[in-house]
Copies of this chain bind each other. A is one copy, B any other.
């Protein structure tokens, strides 16, 4: 594509560096901004620079936070005896949306993936172990591993189980089974097989 304006070309190139956005979509977005008030572009640009330069990570759970301690870790209405280990902030949001969990989190910041060159030392695993030995020692009773049911997720969960064993805590993982509201015939074989093996007895 040969652009009529160097400024447009630069903007399209920058926008298309974002994941899932190609040159055509980037051009559509840039042309949209050109049609709107200049203030809209400025507040977009300011919000992006602000979030990148000023966002911190909670020193306890490593979730995104505006302060040293995130709102969840700082709250006295959360159950500090359960820690839910997740891959990233989006998982925290997803679990918070269910309103089914009242404990604390620990955000790994990724998942063990040899393909992408991510090893245990790139993740917040040591800080989890330190947390269990340090300020939260004795308080924590259970660790829930809420990682994606993929090969990378299972590898990370396996590694964590090994590291957590010495602490003699209850370690659990989120249930795998048929999704609620889904038709049984459309469930994949592995999930359906797993849901039979992990069947739950009526009480």
Question: Which of the 9-residue segments A19-27, A142-150, A154-162 touches chain B?
Answer: A19-27
Known: A31-B89, A44-B48. A63 touches B19 (CB 8 A): no
A116 at the interface (CB under 8 A from B): no
Give 1 or 0 for each of A11-25: 1 = CB within 8 Å of chain B CB: 101110111110001
Bound-complex Cα distance A68 to B37 (A): 21
Question: Which of the 9-residue segments A1-9, A77-85, A128-136, A190-198 touches chain B?
Answer: A1-9
Which chain B residues lie closer than 8 Å to A10 at the CB level?
47, 50-51
Q: Are B28 and A93 in contact (CB under 8 A)?
A: no
Interface size on A, residues (CB 8 A): 59
Q: Are B11 and A19 in contact (CB under 8 A)?
A: no
Give 1 or 0 for each of A49-74: 1 = CB within 8 Å of chain B CB: 11111110010000111100011100
Report A68 CB to chain B, min CB distance, Å.
12
Which chain B residues lie closer than 8 Å to A14 at the CB level?
43-44, 47-48
